[in-house]
Structures are given as C-alpha cells and as structure tokens.
C-alpha cells in the first residue's frame, strides 16, 4: 500500500494472491488493507489537501507532465504486467498504457485553464467574481478490465484540480495499480497527495468512502448494481459522486452500409479485450438485405482470431478475467440457443492443450436473437456477437433504445442525413458513426440512464472535481 508517500505492509501481514487468468499462476502476495489502513489513507490525504490545493496550477501541471513522460518510458514493463495480470494481448496492453498516459498529458494542460468569471451586476456599485476550487479528498474505485487507464482517467483530473486521492483498484488487478503508483510516486507528488489501498473485499472501502466526512467525492467505475449502492449511500451524506457503469451497446448496420466495412469494424471492437468493455457492442442489428454479406465477412474474420496467452504475439484474444465470467456468458449463449437462436461460430469453453488452466472462451457469433433471451437484455462482457435481424430502420432504432442502459451506440451508414437523424434519436451518451473508437482523453466519456452519472475526460472531466465559489464586491 502507498500511504503518505511510503510503501507499507499490513500490520497483521494479512495478504491475498493475484493470478494470471491465462494459466492461474500466482503472481504474488498483495497486502489486504484493513479498515484502519483505509482510514489512515483518508487522514493523510485530508491533511495533504491544504497544501496541495493551494499550490499553483502550474506546479501541479509540471508534475502531471513529468508523470506522463515517466509512464511512456515504462510502457513496455507496465504493459507486460497488465498482460500477465489482466490477460489482454500485449499489443492491447501497450495501447492502454499510451491511452492512460494521454490523460496525464491532457490534464497537465487543463490544470492551467481552471478559471473563474467576472460577472456584471445590475447595480452600478457591485461586481461579481466566481472562483473554481477543488472539492477536497477523492475516494476512487477502479475496475479490472482497463486497470491502468481507468486509474489515470480519475487521478489526472483530480490532481489537476487540486484534490488529493485515495484509490482502491480491483482486487483482480492490484499489481497494475501498484506499478502505476510507483511511476506516479517517482514523479515527486508530495506525501499524502496520492494514496493506494489494496483491500480484497470492496465493501469496507465503499462504506468508508461514502460515510467518512473527510471524503468529499466518490468516483467509481464498475457495475450498475454497485453504482446504485454507492450512489444511495453517498446521497445520505450529500457527497459528490460520479459513476461510470454498465452498457448494452447497440450496433446498427443500415441497408445502405458497406457490410464488409461494418463487419471489419465490429470484429475489431467486439473481441477487443475479449469483449470485456462497457462500450463493447452487445446487440448487433443487421438489415435482412445485407445479412449474408455481413455474416460471411464477420465469420471469416472471427475464424482467424487465435486465442491464448496474451504474451504470445500471434495471439489476437486473451482469457476472460475469471471463472464467473465464463459461467455468465456461457449461460447467456445456452439460454439463447435453447430459445431458438442459431449458432454460427464458437459457443464453447476452450480448455484443451495450452488453454487447459486458463479462463478461455471461443469468439462466438449467434444470430436470430429475440427479446425473450437473456443476452438481449443483459450486459454480456464477453466475446459474444449476438445478431438481431430487422427490416425497418425505425424498428432497429426502437429496439436499440429498448434497454435500461445509455452508454455507447454505433451506426453504420453512407447516408449522412440518416446518420444524424439516428444519432439524435438514440438515447446514448457516446455514439460512433462509421467509427468503432469514439473515445479520447480530450472527449467526455460517461453514460446516461443506468449507465452512470457525470463525465470523465475532456474539459468536462475536471469539472467533476471542482466547486464554484461566488464573490460579490461592493465598490
């Protein structure tokens, strides 16, 4: 654990193990932070806030620039640890480290742009000024699927704003967080400004973050159910909160679209990180008139996806994170097939030869999906491509909106008018038009409805960590 600038162990030597999902090899012992450890981290962050919040934004910016440089220098080693602990391919891990560093760079720049306003008054002798001030101590909870970039997406704007942070990573990927914090610590952040706790059970952290009056804001990325719980508990104490939660992204392919182009885009995104992404396409709406061309291209590409240990450069898709993930997606596939869906490819656990010890599932295509199937309603978080056929474009839009989630959606069409009209009708916060990567450190990221509250990234991201102070002046 990193608390008050020092790496420390649990006083009771209570540890847990972290494992490689490709082979279940033990990667090391992790300190199981106690309630006392969590409270100590909050206390030092609370005391460090006074000095850190008063520092010049230019000073905070310089440290973030240095952190950006340090992370890029450690890209190879950090990516290797990520592949070992999370399972994604080394190529994907390197791309994530680059993405993670982008947030450090972006908010190094945004730190210098925290400005208030000069506001005129209806009274001649009065003037108004607004000032942006940091909210205080931030309690951050990050997920395992993007174990480095989700850390910097929260830390960078918080630090740029002048907040101090106590961060709890997923219990499945603590090594990634430890190595990330080593990079940040080497940068020279003052003691107590960044603190890392690594409890195995997340409940204590959530309860303390949402109840301790010294924590001004809670930020969480994870499941909708946990997000609801944190929001409820935070609400009782009128605590600031931002949530990036689940998704059930529709991928609409209109009849005028190039089916080959659409299939290539879908396969590139759907099986990235073994489908373990909140913006991964979960419902693929294909017009009846182009389904044969689309499915043919998609099948050709999926058949070429080699599954295995991500350290092997020939591998295109790694394991899922654990056995529970395998059970969930296999249950969705079997439920769909039992209710009339058609299996085009895959649909099985992979456990032969070198895959025996890992959590591997075949990239899968199933078609003829109906609303009574679990996969139509539930977020999948796995390498399953469920295809839904439609005839009327308006019907596809209505089905796309038929969900409690509102994170990401995708549209493929050559008709710009149709694209714009569809974009306006879709109830989702992030939309890609002939684009399967509509994200960037410079762009706000977040959901509506049950996909979350608030935004990360872009100019909006730093606002989540700022309060507005208004001053009236009589002259």
Residues belonging to the active site:
244, 278
Neighbour order of strands in the sheet with 466-474: 117-120, 126-134, 466-474
Q: Are strands 360-361 and 349-350 parallel, antiparallel or unpaired?
A: antiparallel
Q: Is 92 exposed, middle or buried (0-12, 13-18, 19+ CB in 10 A)?
A: buried
| Cβ atoms of residues 167 and 195 within 8 Å | yes
Q: Is 288 exposed, middle or buried (0-12, 13-18, 19+ CB in 10 A)?
A: exposed
Q: Name the strand (E) or helix (H) holding 330.
A: helix 323-338
**CA pair distance 470, 90, nearest whole angstrom:** 49
Distance from the Cα of residue 367 to its chain's centroid: 28
Residue where the block lists tokens 């997923």: 170
Beta bridge partners of 433: 411
Closest CA to 248 of 147, 371, 152, 415: 371
Beta bridge partners of 411: 252, 433
Burial call 371-406: b when 16+ CB within 10 Å, e when fewer:
eebebbbbbbbbbbbbbbebeebeebbebbeebebb
Question: Cβ atoms within 10 A of the Cβ of 237, count?
Answer: 12
**What's the chain's length in residues?**
475
Residue 7: C-alpha distances to residues 46, 98, 138, 185 (Å)? 18, 26, 20, 10
Question: Cβ atoms within 10 A of the Cβ of 266, count?
Answer: 25
DSSP letters, 231-270, are HHHHHHTT-EEEEE----EEEEE-TTS-HHHHHHHHHHHH
């Amino acid at each position: 654990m990193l608390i008050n600038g020092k790496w420390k162990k649990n006083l009771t030597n209570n540890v847990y193990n972290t494992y490689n999902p490709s082979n279940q090899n033990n990667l090391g012992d992790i300190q199981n932070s106690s309630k006392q450890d969590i409270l100590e981290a909050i206390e030092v962050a609370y005391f460090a806030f006074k000095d850190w919040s008063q520092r010049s934004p230019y000073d905070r910016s310089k440290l973030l620039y240095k952190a950006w440089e340090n992370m890029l220098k450690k890209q190879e080693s950090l990516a290797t640890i990520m592949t070992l602990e999370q399972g994604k391919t080394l190529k994907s891990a390197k791309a994530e480290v680059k993405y993670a560093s982008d947030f450090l760079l972006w908010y190094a720049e945004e730190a210098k742009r925290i400005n208030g306003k000069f506001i005129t008054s209806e009274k001649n002798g009065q003037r108004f000024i607004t000032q942006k001030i940091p909210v205080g101590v931030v309690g951050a909870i990050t997920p395992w699927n993007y174990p480095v970039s989700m850390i910097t997406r929260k830390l960078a704007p918080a630090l740029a704003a002048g907040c101090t942070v106590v961060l709890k990573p997923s219990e499945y990927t603590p090594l990634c967080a430890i190595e990330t914090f080593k990079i940040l610590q080497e940068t020279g952040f003052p003691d107590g400004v960044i603190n890392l706790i690594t409890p195995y059970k997340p409940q204590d952290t959530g309860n303390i973050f949402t109840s301790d009056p010294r924590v001004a804001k809670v930020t969480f990325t994870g499941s909708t159910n946990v997000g609801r719980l944190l929001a409820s508990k935070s609400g009782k104490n009128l605590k600031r909160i931002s949530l990036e939660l689940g998704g059930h992204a529709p991928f609409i392919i209109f009849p005028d679209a190039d089916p080959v182009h659409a299939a290539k885009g879908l396969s590139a995104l759907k099986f990235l990180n073994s489908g373990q992404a909140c913006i991964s396409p979960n419902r693929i709406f294909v017009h009846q008139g182009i389904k044969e061309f689309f499915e043919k291209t998609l099948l050709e590409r999926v058949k070429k996806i080699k599954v295995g240990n991500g350290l092997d450069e020939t591998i295109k898709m790694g394991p899922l994170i654990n056995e529970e993930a395998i059970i969930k997606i296999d249950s969705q596939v079997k439920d769909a097939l039992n209710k009339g869906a058609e299996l085009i490819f895959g649909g099985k656990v992979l456990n032969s030869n070198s895959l025996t010890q890992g959590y591997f599932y075949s990239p899968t295509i199933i078609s003829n999906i109906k609303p009574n199937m679990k996969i139509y309603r539930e977020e999948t978080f796995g390498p399953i491509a469920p295809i839904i056929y439609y005839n009327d474009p308006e019907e596809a839009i209505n089905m796309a909106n038929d969900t409690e989630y509102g994170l990401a959606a995708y549209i493929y069409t050559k008709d710009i008018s149709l694209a714009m009209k569809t974009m306006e009708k879709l109830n989702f916060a992030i939309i890609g038009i002939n684009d399967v990567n509509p994200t960037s450190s410079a762009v706000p990221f977040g959901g509506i409805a049950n996909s979350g509250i608030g935004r990360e990234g872009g100019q909006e991201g730093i606002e989540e960590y700022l309060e507005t102070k208004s001053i009236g002046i009589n002259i």
